[in-house]
Amino acid sequence: MGLGTSVLAIGVAFALSLLRGPAGQPLVHPLDSPPPPVRIVRFFATTGALFAGETAKLCYGVENARTVKLSPEMDRVPPSPGRCIEVHPEHTTHYTLQAEGFDGRIAIRSLTIPVQRLPLYTLPLHQVVWKRPR
């Protein structure tokens, strides 16, 4: 049987769908019942703050999602129970993960990665070595 094939079992029609359970297994549910709700089970950054020029990873996990969008970096990313994407923010950036379920409902989570400029470091005058030109 392929995806979307229904079987009559004990008087109830069931369908194997593209929905995935927590362990990634296909879910089987009665055709007359609504699909399970979309869920964002995780969304986090691997670092709390960055200096300009550094990278971080945004990690996410979704269940029962038909589409997933990550903004502002990427428009669409694949639905996954666990995935990380490298980002290179040049300034403090607010990221939004939006997952749309098979029933049209939407789940949204957001986070902000603060980016700081590299601090200017000046040496104390007594540590400066003066050389006389030859």
**Rounded Cα–Cα distance for residues 6 and 55 (Å):** 47
Same domain, 114 and 53: yes
Same domain, 39 and 76: yes
Same domain, 56 and 112: yes
Nearest one of 132, 126, 134, 48 to 92, comparing CA atoms:
48
Q: Does residue 130 belong to any structural domain of this protein?
A: no
Q: Which domain holds residue 16?
A: 1-33
Q: What pLDDT was estimated at residue 67?
A: 94
| pLDDT averaged per 10 residues in sequence order, the chain, 134 residues | 46 50 60 84 94 93 95 88 94 96 95 86 62 68
